[in-house]
């Protein structure tokens, strides 16, 4: 491996994420969801009821921004707050039946797309790529924390 290959791999993350976001956004057409609303629904779909701080931690974004996202999903009737036995001032956020049905459909369409675009990729190479990206992400985060 050359240094320039690793450098290129790291910087390809931006166009990859932009293409993924554009594809996700196109897949949301007609659902009434925005990409950021979808992110909240995805977290609740994947991990169950959560507080705003828990969602923020998983998405690695500021809690205040997640609160805006949660406000949108609540106003659309896709999520609802529930009592949190662990913390009185930080309610658990839950999917409503409408929200669950909507995110189930979105995730199913996205998984079908991933199956189509990845049909000719070697699963071992995909696993290796995933391990490399995870390692690079961890190392770059650690480096950023160590900087003055």
- pLDDT tens digits for 128-144? 999 999 999 999 999 88
Which of helix, strand or coil describes residue 80? strand
Give the model confidence (pLDDT) of 19-70 as tens digits. Answer: 999 999 999 999 999 999 999 999 999 999 999 999 999 999 999 999 999 9
pLDDT classification of 2: cutoffs 50, 70, 90: low
Q: Is the dihedral of CA 41, 43, 49, 51 positive or negative?
A: negative
pLDDT classification of 145: cutoffs 50, 70, 90: confident
Quote the tokens at residue 52.
């705003």
Predicted TM-score (pTM) above 0.75? yes
């Amino acid at each position: 491996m050359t240094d320039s290959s690793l450098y290129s791999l790291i910087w390809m993350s931006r166009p990859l994420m932009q293409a993924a976001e554009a594809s996700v956004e196109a897949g949301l057409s007609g659902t009434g969801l925005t990409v950021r609303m979808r992110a909240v629904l995805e977290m609740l779909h994947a991990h169950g009821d959560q507080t705003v701080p828990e969602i923020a931690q998983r998405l690695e974004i500021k809690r205040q921004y997640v609160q805006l996202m949660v406000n949108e999903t609540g106003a659309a009737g896709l999520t609802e707050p529930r009592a949190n036995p662990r913390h009185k001032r930080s309610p658990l956020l839950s999917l409503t039946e409408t929200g669950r049905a909507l995110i189930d459909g979105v995730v199913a369409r996205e998984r079908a797309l991933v199956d189509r675009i990845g049909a000719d990729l070697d699963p071992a190479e995909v696993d290796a790529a995933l391990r490399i990206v995870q390692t690079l992400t961890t190392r770059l985060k650690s480096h950023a924390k160590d900087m003055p």
